[in-house]
Amino acid sequence: MKGTERIMLGHGSGGLLMHELLEDEIVAALGRGSIQPDDAAVLPLDGGEVVFTTDSFVVDPIFFPGGDIGSLSVCGTVNDLAVMGAKPLYLSVALILEEGLPIEDLRRVLRSMRRTADEAGVRIVTGDTKVVPHGSADKLFVTTTGIGLRLKGLAPSSSRIRPGDALIASGSLGEHGLAVMLRREGVEFGAEIVSDVASVFPIVESLKPFGDAIHAIRDPTRGGIASTLNEFASASGCTIEIDEQAIPLRDDVRGACEIFGFDPLHVASEGKLVLAVAPGNATEVLCTLRSVPLGSNASIIGTVTDRRTPRVILRTAVGGRRILEMLAGEQLPRIC
């Protein structure tokens, strides 16, 4: 882009500067489909159940170990489709840029977005760009919206959870939230903790043969697995019992959480799943998960016990039992 290496208000004007920004940066990075001359995309969708989801991303910092706001905003929305049992097909990308943002930062984010979309097999087909004055936003916010088609046979929904179901985590938890927090606070902590941000669609696809036996799938992002499990309990009206020792946690995550006073069960992951599976299929699902790259640390972490009270009970390492609450206030702002 000529004449400027920082975002200016005029880049959001609807005029020449904006057209330059679109052509030189956004189309160059995301591909022609992301900017329709007609401001919307026309999509072929061959029947089936269409799934539709949106997420804004305000992560701070925009670059962190293992990812950035670009890969996060693509994976976050791809994953919201995947947990519905849908194959992600199309994405829209809406950018809010702060005046003064280095163009090179925008480029890095867009490149990351494109690479992540290509890897996830999803097409960025339409978009929008706004610029606000310096101080009216923090660098760069991204809103991605996704359209997917439900895989035949899969219809996961937290309302389908029932007593007897096994709860399975697809891998170790909390890495994303900690990676972002440690980078934001400038804390050095032994070996760097790296975000787990990734598309979980390959995991979901591997579960297609189990069809109806997959009762619910969710990605434990904001609020961590504690929020996910409480949402499962509340949507199904069931009591869920979790074995604390069975929850996969990396030692560095456990250690950092102890030092900084976080409960790792409240810390976000961005490439993991929690599943509720019919009891007869639990072992087979576990083995399938362990056979895909992102699921090698999958574990059965608990069961749905009964329909008396919607709540989550944690069996602790020392044999105690406590109620695992949802996070009440804010523990880690701006981690997605």
At closest approach, how far in Å is the CB of 80 from its own copies?
A: 5
- For residue 52, the minimal CB distance to its own copies (Å) is 5
Does residue 134 contact residue 211 with C-beta atoms inside 8 Å?
no
Closer to its own copies by Cβ: residue 127 or 295: 127
As to burial, measured by CB atoms within 10 angstroms (0-12 exposed, 13-18 middle, 19+ buried), residue 315 is middle
CA 76 from centre of chain:
3
Closer Cβ to its own copies, 158 or 199, answer by number:
158
Residue 102 CB partners (closer than 8 Å, separation 6+): 5, 6, 7
Shortest CB 248 distance to its own copies, Å? 20
Contacts of 325 (CB under 8 A, 6+ apart): 226, 230
Shortest Å distance, C-beta 114 to its own copies: 17
Judged by CB, which is closer to its own copies: 56, or 206? 56
H, E, C per residue of 81-97: HHCCCEEEEEEEEEEEE
Residue closer to its own copies, measured from CB, 13 or 296:
13
Q: How far is the CB of 190 from its own copies (least distance, A)?
A: 27
Alpha carbon distance 151, 159 (integer Å): 19
CB 122 within 8 A of CB 91: yes
Distance CA 23, CA 189 (A): 41
Choose between 228 and 290: whose C-beta lies nearer to its own copies.
228
